[in-house]
Amino acid sequence: MPLRAIAPADPESGPRRDSAARLSGYLDALDQGVLVIDGTGRVIIETGPARAVLAGLGHDPALGRPARSLLRLLAATTGSGLRETVHRIRGARDEDRPAEYEITACGRTVSVRVRAMPDGWTVSLEDVSARRAVEAGTAELARLDSLTGLANRRMLRERLGESLDRLDRYGEPCAVLLIDLDRFKPVNDTLGHAVGDALLVKVADRLRSAVRAADTVARIGGDEFVVIQAGAACQEDVAVLARRLVDLVGRTYIVDGQLLTIGASVGAALAPQDGTDADRLLKHADLALYRAKLDGRGTFRFFEPEMDVRMQARRRLELDIRQALARREFVLHYQPQMNLENRRLTGCEALLRWMHPERGTVPPAEFIPLAEEVGLIVPIGEWVIRQACRDAATWPAGISVAVNVSPAQFKSERLVETIVSALAMSGLEASCLEIEITEGVLLQNNERTLETLHRLRALGVRVSMDDFGTGYSSLSYLRSFPFDKIKIDRSFVKDLSTKPDGDAIIRAIAGLGRSLGMTTVAEGVETEEQMRRIRADGCTDVQGYLVSRPVPLDLVMKLLSP
């Protein structure tokens, strides 16, 4: 116990003062406040935290040294006289156990432990207000977010209610800013929850520092925050704050010795123009936030009435897609691919169609993007894989089926399982199943994606690169995985008739495929002329309306077995 080493004598003298200063620096790092008092009642060590705790109790340093005022406080709160208190503390020395008190003043509760030393006392002080409040289950704490100390959802509701009340009574406007962190999830997932929590606390501090005392900052979900901006009269008032929030949150953090950067997207709604009740305001801020996220994150948007209309249409579509699966409204059409050498059909691509009871046949472009966004592509994609395998198992031997697989399906981890079980249940040879992926698949979590692709490959499933040439770095992706097939995007075939050097690109891709040992299929071939040209350019296969449009199963069966 290093405290024993402190002599009570003259703290002003050289070496002792040095060691006291050193020790006090060390003690400053503790959460508890520490005072060391000598036998004459003089304070020889008083740490920063101790001063802070005493200040919380309303102790004014100008009124005297802490030892004296502490005794006064103790006496006052224990209801005993000063003399009695001193006596008790002295008694602590005799009994060799600390005297413990709890002092409540100025709304704070402080636990005080006085331990007698042979030549004085050490006093530890701890502000236990928060703990006591939790124990007492007080309303205040139930309204705070336990991690960040910000308002929680409940308190947000109350505060928003009060703000709207002021709007009603005095015409004082306000704004609601919904803040969602960008790229927080990867931090939390890869570095662990402890780092994620520490980061959230720092974000909370920055948000708090950005607003005025009359504003409210709340945390309402994992990485979702809300600011109620009091008195925000116009969009510019709100924009100033929103910009500040985006900027502050986007600055680098150091957590656990690591540099981290995240961003913030903000959606804002103003009262009264965007709504005068809490639910509407929050909903409208949420729509604006959604827009901000779509527009590239790290930015803010105000609510606009059209957002509501568009969102309702999306919701309806989403609901419709959910039901479509259960109502068996999806069907697969098949489009054959033909080998240019022997003019035989080698396989078919499965293309999803939605037979909507009112809208008729809905093409994939109108629902797959939304299905991907809301995660519905995973169950739909599973259905496609199973159905395609079942159908292809009835085709003549050696004819393969190609299935389009979305990035989201690679994320879900169930892809390999699904394919293994679909092959087993249908009895289709693995070598007759082909999956088509686009650059988007390789853009995400590359290592895990590649591992999945290799596992599929090991099963005997073939892998094609779809829409080749439309992405940013198609060439480098060709190097990252040994694809079986390159599907040259339709746009290059279209260019054949319009651009003088249209052949050059197709010829280059076909040459690349040949030297890498990959089949090259030209997509979207509609005319004899296009077919002649792509053949001369060196493509091995063709897919397009010229051979056949995508057709239902019974029709494709006829094409496959003439």
For the beta carbon of residue 57, count every other beta carbon within 10 angstroms. Answer: 21
Among 8, 298, 469, 544, binds ligand C2E (CB under 6 A): 544
Cβ closest to ligand C2E, residue 76 vs residue 331: 331
Angstrom CA distances, 27 to 2, 14, 19, 23, 59, stand at: 11, 20, 12, 6, 20
Virtual torsion, Cα 322, 327, 329, 331, nearest 10 deg: 100
Q: Which segments within 84-152 are labelled E, that is strand? A: 99-105, 108-117, 120-127
Among 227, 351, 496, 510, binds ligand C2E (CB under 6 A): 351
The least distance separating ligand C2E from the CB of residue 489, rounded to whole angstroms, comes to 8
Cβ closest to ligand C2E, residue 381 vs residue 502: 381
The least distance separating ligand C2E from the CB of residue 174, rounded to whole angstroms, comes to 44
Please classify residue 210 by burial: count the beta carbons closer than 10 Å to its beta carbon, then call 0-12 exposed, 13-18 middle and 19+ buried.
middle
Among 85, 404, 409, 418, binds Mg ion (CB under 5 A): 404
Assess 467 for contact with Mg ion (CB under 5 A): yes
Among 508, 545, 552, 561, binds ligand C2E (CB under 6 A): 545
The distance of Cα 520 from the centroid of its chain, to the nearest Å, equals 39
Can you list the alpha helix ranges (DSSP code H) found in 211-277? 235-249
* From ligand C2E, Mg ion, none, interface partner of 524 (C-beta below 5 to 8 A by class): ligand C2E
The interface with Mg ion within residues 417-446 (CB under 5 A) comprises 436
Place of tokens 């779509």: 294
The interface with ligand C2E within residues 142-171 (CB under 6 A) comprises none
The interface with ligand C2E within residues 261-280 (CB under 6 A) comprises none
The least distance separating ligand C2E from the CB of residue 491, rounded to whole angstroms, comes to 10
Asked if 525 and 491 count as a contact pair (C-beta separation under 8 A), the reply is no
Q: Quick one: DSSP state of residue 145?
A: -
Virtual torsion, Cα 186, 191, 194, 197, nearest 10 deg: -30
SS3 271: strand
Name beta bridge partners: 123.
Answer: 35, 114
Asked if 348 and 547 count as a contact pair (C-beta separation under 8 A), the reply is no
Among 467, 503, 537, 541, binds ligand C2E (CB under 6 A): 467
Assess 62 for contact with ligand C2E (CB under 6 A): no
Assess 541 for contact with ligand C2E (CB under 6 A): no
Assess 541 for contact with Mg ion (CB under 5 A): no
Can you list the alpha helix ranges (DSSP code H) found in 261-353? 278-294, 305-326
The least distance separating ligand C2E from the CB of residue 365, rounded to whole angstroms, comes to 6
Among 335, 337, 426, 464, binds ligand C2E (CB under 6 A): 335
The least distance separating Mg ion from the CB of residue 525, rounded to whole angstroms, comes to 12
Of 84-92, 147-155, 295-303, 467-475, which segment contacts Mg ion by CB under 5 A? 467-475
Upper half-sphere CA count for residue 237 (Cβ side, 13 Å): 16
For the beta carbon of residue 271, count every other beta carbon within 10 angstroms. Answer: 24
Contacts with 211 (C-beta within 8 Å, 6 or more apart), sequence order: 217, 227, 229, 241
Q: Which segments within 171-235 are labelled E, that is strand? A: 174-182, 216-221, 224-230
* From ligand C2E, Mg ion, none, interface partner of 545 (C-beta below 5 to 8 A by class): ligand C2E
Counting residues that bind Mg ion (by CB under 5 A) gives 5
Of 35-43, 252-260, 456-464, 542-550, which segment contacts ligand C2E by CB under 6 A? 542-550
DSSP secondary structure letters along 323-339: HHHHTT-EEEEEEEEEE
The least distance separating Mg ion from the CB of residue 142, rounded to whole angstroms, comes to 54
Among 181, 217, 270, 368, binds ligand C2E (CB under 6 A): 368
Asked if 232 and 175 count as a contact pair (C-beta separation under 8 A), the reply is yes
* From Mg ion, ligand C2E, none, interface partner of 369 (C-beta below 5 to 8 A by class): none
The least distance separating Mg ion from the CB of residue 475, rounded to whole angstroms, comes to 17
Counting residues that bind ligand C2E (by CB under 6 A) gives 23
Among 223, 466, 537, 541, binds ligand C2E (CB under 6 A): 466
Pairing of strands 300-302, 330-339: unpaired
* From Mg ion, ligand C2E, none, interface partner of 156 (C-beta below 5 to 8 A by class): none
Cβ closest to ligand C2E, residue 46 vs residue 391: 391
Of 7-15, 152-160, 234-242, 543-551, which segment contacts ligand C2E by CB under 6 A? 543-551
Among 155, 384, 505, 531, binds ligand C2E (CB under 6 A): 384
The interface with ligand C2E within residues 397-456 (CB under 6 A) comprises 404, 406, 436
The least distance separating Mg ion from the CB of residue 526, rounded to whole angstroms, comes to 14
The least distance separating Mg ion from the CB of residue 487, rounded to whole angstroms, comes to 5
The least distance separating ligand C2E from the CB of residue 396, rounded to whole angstroms, comes to 22
Angstrom CA distances, 258 to 196, 298, 426, 430, 550, stand at: 12, 21, 50, 45, 53
Cβ closest to ligand C2E, residue 92 vs residue 441: 441
Among 41, 64, 161, 364, binds ligand C2E (CB under 6 A): 364
Assess 365 for contact with ligand C2E (CB under 6 A): yes
DSSP secondary structure letters along 19-83: HHHHHHHHHHTSSSEEEEEETTS-EEEE-HHHHHHHHHTT--GGG--HHHHHHHHHHHHHT--HH
d(CA 238, CA 247): 14
Q: How many residues does the chain have?
A: 562
Upper half-sphere CA count for residue 108 (Cβ side, 13 Å): 17
Of 70-78, 115-123, 299-307, 518-526, which segment contacts ligand C2E by CB under 6 A? 518-526
State which amino acid sits at residue 550: P
* From ligand C2E, Mg ion, none, interface partner of 351 (C-beta below 5 to 8 A by class): ligand C2E
The least distance separating Mg ion from the CB of residue 141, rounded to whole angstroms, comes to 56
Q: Quick one: DSSP state of residue 357?
A: T
Summarize as ranges the residues that interact with Mg ion (CB under 5 A).
Answer: 404, 436, 466-467, 523
Summarize as ranges the residues that interact with ligand C2E (CB under 6 A).
Answer: 335, 351-352, 363-365, 368, 377, 381, 384, 404, 406, 436, 466-467, 490, 523-526, 544-545, 550
